């Protein structure tokens, strides 16, 4: 698996073919989008909606959007924050990790998480956090199987949805 930053054009737009790939990946995760409410119609996710969502992610200070490719195909996307907006929170965050639903249960998510954790370790970080929507038991099971522990329950900053906050030490 290769993980690389999201390429942008000189005008800070997404190249068309990358946006097409990302739209297909987002659309494949219909059940997640039905839970999250991130898109008005989880059965009709459009390129302009994905571009807007990713622009919103990249507007956050220290945010990075990473694409995961296996055998040349886009299999996942991750959004990380080097620093959480809350200054009392010392850890970096995984803001989103999404694997193409047609390629789930093949180890891509687990491998992508390992690569993200390795990036944080190389940056000298000792732990990482993330939030899982309370109505997403599959997501919670995935993260806890990887050693993440629930440390808090609170609403997410963007939409006030109930979430479990998880943390994993990286030593």
pTM above threshold 0.95:
no
Sequence-distant (6+) residues with CB within 8 A of 119 are 3, 80
SS3 at position 138: helix
Alpha-carbon span 66 to 112, nearest angstrom: 10
Residue 10's pLDDT is 86
What is the domain range of residue 74?
A: 2-169
Residue 132's pLDDT is 96
Per-residue model confidence as pLDDT tens digits over 117-142:
999 999 999 999 999 999 999 999 99
Number of domains in the chain: 1
pLDDT tier at 68, thresholds 50, 70, 90: very high
Rounded alpha-carbon distances, angstroms, from residue 97 to 49, 77, 83, 119: 18, 6, 17, 15
Radius of gyration of the chain (CA): 15
What the block records as the tokens of 106 is 């093949």
- CATH code for the domain of 125: 3.40.630.30
| Mean pLDDT for the chain overall | 94
């Amino acid at each position: 698996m290769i993980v690389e930053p999201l390429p942008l054009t000189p005008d800070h737009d997404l190249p068309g073919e990358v946006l097409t790939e990302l739209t297909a990946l987002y659309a494949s995760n219909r059940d997640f989008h039905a839970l999250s409410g991130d898109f008005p119609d989880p059965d009709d996710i459009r390129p302009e909606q994905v571009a807007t969502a990713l622009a919103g992610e990249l507007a956050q200070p220290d945010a990075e959007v990473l694409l995961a490719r296996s055998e040349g195909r886009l299999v996942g996307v991750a959004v990380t924050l080097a620093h959480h907006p809350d200054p009392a929170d010392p850890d970096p965050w995984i803001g989103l990790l999404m694997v193409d639903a047609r390629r789930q249960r093949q180890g891509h998510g687990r491998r992508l998480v390992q690569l993200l954790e390795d990036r944080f370790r190389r940056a000298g970080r000792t732990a990482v956090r993330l939030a899982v929507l309370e109505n997403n038991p599959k997501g919670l099971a995935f993260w806890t199987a990887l050693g993440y522990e629930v440390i808090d329950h609170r609403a997410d900053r963007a939409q006030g949805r109930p979430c479990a906050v998880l943390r994993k030490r990286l030593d």
